[in-house]
Structure formats: C-alpha cells, structure tokens
C-alpha cells in the first residue's frame, strides 16, 4: 500500500470543496488557493515520476480498498509507466491553466470561483482515470469526468457554448454507455471463468476470452475511446467543443481528456482483447491515416484559430492511433511519447491563441497580421510552439513522430509511408496560420497592443522549456514509458520484428 497516489488524487477534490465554499467576493483568494493546490499536486506527480522504478513492478504506488463487494469492485489505484507520465502531464498543465485563466472575466454573471472549483474537480477525475487499475473504477472516472468539463464549457465558453457543451457531453456519454455494455460483459465473462466476477485489471488480463466474444467486447471499448480520442469519423464534437471552450478548458480538453481515448486503447483494448485487436487493426489503421489527412486538410481550411488547433489535434491523434495499432514496442513507445508531447505543444498553442484573442478580440485569422513586429515575444513564442506542433527536429514532437513512423514501418510499411506525407500538410497549416497572423501588413486595429507580460511568460515559459528539453533529451521519459509498452506488447502476444534495416543487411 502506498498512499501517495491516493493523496494526489483526492487533494484537488478537497481543494475544490474549499474553493467552492469561499464567499463570492474572495475571488483573489480562490485563485491563489487553486494555484497553490495545483502546484502541490504538480510536485507530487513529479515526485511519483522521479520515484518510479523503471526496472520494478509494472504497477507502482498501488493502493486498494473494498468498494462494492457485490460487484467485485475495488477502489484500486496504481500507475504503470504510461499512466505516470500522463499524470505528470496533468500536474504540469493544470497550474499553467490556472495562471493562464488568472485575468479571465466570466461571461454573464457567473463568478470565476466556480471555474476554478470545477477545474480542480476535473483534475481529480483526470488523475483518477489514468490511475484506476479496476475497470469499473476507470469507467466511473471516465463518465464523471464529463461533468466538470461540461460545466466549464457550458458556463464559461464562447457564444455557442450551450450547443458545444451538450454535443460534447452526449457524444462522450454515448461512447461511455456502449463501453458500459462491454464492462458488464467483462464481468460476466470473469464470473463464468473465475467463479466470481471481478474488475481487477490484473485478473482480467488472465482471462481466456473466445475470439467472438472478444470482438464484441472490443467494439464496446473501442467506440468509446474512438469518440474520446477522437478518430475520424467520431470527431465532429471536438472542433465545436475546442472552439467554444474557454482557453483553459480547451487546453485540458485537447491536452489531457482526449488522451484518455488513446490511453484506453493501450491499457484496455490491446491487453484484454488481443485477438480482436489484431482483427480490427487494419480498420483502425485506416481510420488513423484518414484522420491524419482529414484533420490536416480541414485545419488548413479554417479561418477560426481555435477550430484550426482542434483540427490539428485530430491529425495528431491519427499518428498516435497508427503508433498504437502498429503493434511494435517502438511505435507504441512513440505513441505514448506523442501523447505527452501533444499535450505540451497543443496546450501551448491554445494558450498562444488565447493570448492572441485577448489582444485582438477575435478568433478569426483574418483579423490579425504583422503582429510579430508589434509583439516580438509573442511572435517568437508562437513560432517555437508552432514548429513543435509540426514536429521540427530539435523539438519534442519530432522524437515521437519519428519513433511512430520508424516503429510502424516494420509492420505496416504502407500506412507508415502514407502517414509520413501528412507531415508536410502539418507544416502547411501551422506556417500559414503563423504567416497570416504574425507577418504581412500590420492590421491597424492591433497598433499598440501589449507584448507578453510577466504572467504570460511564466505560463508559456515552462511549456516552451519542455518542448526544447524533450526534443533534445527525451531519454528519461522514454525510460519510464518503455517497460510499460513492452509489457503491453507481451499481453498482446506480439514479438517485435527485427528492424527493417537489419533485415536488408542480412540479404
């Protein structure tokens, strides 16, 4: 039993209660309290990441308590290498979001106090969804996570926030309910095979499920995760939700919440249903590669910056899907690293877009121009973050994209080659947006706008530092991820094929 994870999970929830009961006029105190708690959580998540024994047990920081005996449900927490880096990502992003939303004015009469309280609730749910080692508990976090995000979008979002919030909620709920059928199905199977139903991940991995049943159960989980990730054609909620969410909400929505889908593929679909995963892999690969192009092409066509960033994410999730369903540990490791890097880069990109909107008062690209001369710091930050998003060598995303492509080439050369072409499109949509907003004739409306202030530098600084550090020296993170991905591949029953180059050398 190690309660560090449990404490990390519960601390934001307790903090949220504390923020919620503050009187309405203590807005500043609410912000300070939220920031303080999120920083403590950051320290604890980093502590866990550093303390994670890369050569040790697959799941660490375990704790487990009886919850609902009749269902065989336990409140079990534990992290493997994949979960621990994603939890660390949450730890980093939440304080950044708090700082970025510091001066936000609420729409209507609502107080920002509620915003920060919901943010902390969301942090607990996000940590929980990655930390659960009981499938039922995972499902509970998966569903309940929707509620804080729903209120963040619906209460604090843009003009079409009602529509976007409901669409987001219903899409995710539909996926969740389909997954519930499979969750119950797993219970029934375990009840038949083990004599008592259980939801413990370690016990479920041992089941021998017939391929026919596997396919049905796989589909339930897969649809839920494909909506969450999202893969084309389940993606239509994301541009709306991403565009209407408040910037802080959008960072967490795209940076973390969507990762639950790809995380779910790796944690649940592959190990629990290996036969079905192999059976459906071609379908998923097609969806992923279509997503890379579809997302990129639609991103190019957007005039709304927030929608543009949302569409870029759909393209990026195509790469992650490719990495996961290529079934090699190299590609899998790349996909996990991609999840982390995407959270950092796209999170930073949303923050920059938010700053632009704050200065120019419009989400439209056409309302900007020549801003780099007026606000050089902002222009510079935009350039670095943008280059990271298009995976320029030297930035974090390059490492992960390269790993995904190299890793998938050994098993899926065709998909890998097609996906590589998508990189060019990524360069187009990012650079076009940068060019239209930062260069060209100055838009007279923007004359005299402020450059980045200290608070904004403090929010973007850590992310830009991570972009460069992880681009140059990703080894510590890779060391944590690799054993967990290897274990997943063992569950899946695949042996890594020899790298393509070596094969040719033998001939």
Partner 1 sequence: MIEAPSVSYTGLSPVLFVFGAALIGVLAEAFVPRAYRWGVQLTIALGGVLGALVSVALIAGREELTISRAVAVDGPALFLEGTLALLGLLSILLLAERSPDMGGSAFVAQAAVPAGTALDRQLATHARTQTEVFPLASFALGGMMLFAAANNLLVMFVALEVLSLPLYLLAGLARRRRLLSQEAALKYFLLGAFTSAFFLYGLALIYGYAGTVDLRGIFDQAAGTDKSDALFVIGLAMLIVGLLFKAGVAPFHTWTPDVYQGAPTSVTALMAACTKVAAFGAILRVLYVGFGNSDWTWRPVLYGVAIVTLIVGSVLALTQTDVKRMLAYSSIAHAGFILTGTIANNQAGLSSTMFYLLTYGLTTIGSFAVVMLVRDADGEASHLSQWAGLAKRSPLVAGVFSLFLLALAGIPLTSGFTGKFVVFRAGLDAGAGPLVVVALLASAVAAFFYVRVIVLMYFSEPAADGPTVAVPGMLTTVALAIAAAATVLLGVAPGAVLDLANQAAQFVG
* Site residues (vs partner 1, CB under 8 A): 67-71, 108-109, 139-140, 143-144, 147, 151, 154-155, 161-162, 165-166, 169-170, 173-174, 177-178, 180-181, 184-185, 187-188, 191, 216
Strand 60-68 relative to strand 73-79, pairing = antiparallel
Judged by CB, which is closer to partner 1: 118, or 325? 118
As measured in angstroms, the least distance from the Cβ of 30 to partner 1 is 17
Helix (H) or strand (E) holding 202: helix 201-205
Q: How far apart are CA 203 and CA 234, in angstroms?
A: 31
Q: How far apart are CA 308 and CA 356, in angstroms?
A: 14
CB crowding 18-34: b at 16 or more within 10 Å, else e: ebeebeeeeeeebbebb
As measured in angstroms, the least distance from the Cβ of 163 to partner 1 is 9
Per-residue tokens: 225? 């995760």
Judged by CB, which is closer to partner 1: 140, or 229? 140
Tokens 């070596």, residue located: 502
As measured in angstroms, the least distance from the Cβ of 310 to partner 1 is 21
Judged by CB, which is closer to partner 1: 1, or 69? 69
Q: How far apart are the first and last CA of the chain?
A: 53
As measured in angstroms, the least distance from the Cβ of 232 to partner 1 is 21
CB crowding 233-265: b at 16 or more within 10 Å, else e: ebbebbbbbbbbbbbbbbbbbbbbbbbbbbbbb
As measured in angstroms, the least distance from the Cβ of 63 to partner 1 is 18
Q: Please, are residues 200 and 66 in contact by the beta-carbon 8 Å criterion?
A: no
Judged by CB, which is closer to partner 1: 143, or 258? 143
As measured in angstroms, the least distance from the Cβ of 144 to partner 1 is 6
Q: Is 57 helix (H, G, I), strand (E, B) or coil?
A: coil
Q: How far apart are CA 120 and CA 94, in angstroms?
A: 8
Judged by CB, which is closer to partner 1: 56, or 195? 195
Q: How many other CB atoms are found less than 10 A from the CB of residue 11?
A: 19
Q: How far apart are CA 475 and CA 473, in angstroms?
A: 6
Judged by CB, which is closer to partner 1: 118, or 294? 118
As measured in angstroms, the least distance from the Cβ of 454 to partner 1 is 34
As measured in angstroms, the least distance from the Cβ of 15 to partner 1 is 19
CA angle, 28 as apex, 27 and 33 as ends, to 5°?
A: 100
Judged by CB, which is closer to partner 1: 7, or 180? 180
Judged by CB, which is closer to partner 1: 72, or 91? 72
């Amino acid at each position: 039993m190690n309660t560090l994870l449990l404490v990390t999970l519960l601390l934001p929830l307790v903090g949220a209660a504390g923020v919620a009961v503050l009187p309405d006029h203590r807005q500043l105190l609410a912000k300070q309290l939220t920031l303080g708690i999120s920083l403590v959580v950051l320290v604890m998540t980093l502590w866990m990441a550093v303390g994670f024994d890369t050569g040790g047990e697959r799941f660490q920081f375990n704790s487990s308590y009886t919850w609902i005996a009749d269902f065989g449900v336990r409140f079990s927490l534990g992290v493997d290498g994949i979960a621990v880096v994603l939890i660390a990502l949450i730890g980093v992003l939440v304080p950044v979001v708090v700082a970025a939303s510091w001066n936000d004015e609420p729409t209507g009469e609502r107080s920002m106090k509620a915003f920060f309280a919901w943010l902390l609730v969301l942090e607990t749910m996000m940590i929980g969804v990655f930390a659960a080692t009981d499938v039922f508990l995972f499902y509970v976090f998966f569903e309940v996570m929707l509620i804080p995000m729903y209120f963040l979008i619906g209460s604090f979002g843009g003009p079409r926030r009602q529509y976007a919030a409901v669409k987001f909620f219903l899409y995710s709920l539909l996926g969740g309910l389909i997954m519930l059928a499979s969750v119950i199905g797993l219970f029934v199977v375990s009840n038949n095979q083990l004599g008592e139903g259980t939801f413990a991940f370690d016990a479920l991995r041992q089941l021998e499920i017939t391929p026919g049943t596997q396919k049905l159960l796989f589909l339930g989980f897969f649809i839920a995760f494909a909506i969450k990730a999202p893969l084309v054609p389940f993606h239509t909620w994301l541009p709306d939700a991403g565009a209407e969410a408040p910037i802080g909400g959008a960072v967490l929505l795209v940076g973390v919440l969507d990762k639950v889908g790809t995380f779910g593929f790796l944690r649940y679909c592959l190990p629990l249903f290996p036969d079905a995963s192999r059976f459906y892999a071609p379908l998923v690969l097609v969806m992923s590669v279509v997503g890379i192009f579809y997302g990129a092409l639609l991103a190019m066509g957007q005039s709304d910056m927030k929608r543009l960033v949302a569409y870029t994410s759909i393209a990026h999730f195509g790469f992650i899907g490719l990495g996961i369903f290529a079934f090699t540990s190299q590609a899998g490791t790349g996909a996990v690293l991609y999840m982390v890097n995407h959270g950092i880069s796209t999170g930073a990109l949303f923050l920059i877009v938010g700053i632009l909107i704050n200065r120019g008062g419009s989400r439209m690209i056409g309302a900007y121009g020549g801003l780099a001369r007026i606000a050089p710091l902002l222009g510079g930050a935009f350039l670095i973050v943008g280059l990271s998003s298009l995976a320029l060598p030297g930035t974090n995303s390059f490492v992960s994209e390269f790993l995904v492509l190299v890793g998938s080439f050994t098993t899926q050369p065709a998909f890998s080659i097609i996906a590589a072409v998508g990189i060019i499109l990524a360069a187009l949509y990012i650079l076009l947006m940068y060019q239209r907003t930062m260069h060209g004739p100055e838009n007279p409306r923007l004359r005299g706008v402020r450059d980045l202030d200290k608070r904004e530098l403090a929010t973007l600084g850590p992310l830009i530092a991570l972009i460069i550090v992880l681009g140059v020296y990703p080894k510590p993170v890779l060391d944590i991820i690799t054993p967990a991905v290897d274990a997943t591949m063992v569950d899946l029953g695949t042996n890594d094929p020899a790298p393509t180059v070596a094969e040719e050398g033998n001939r």
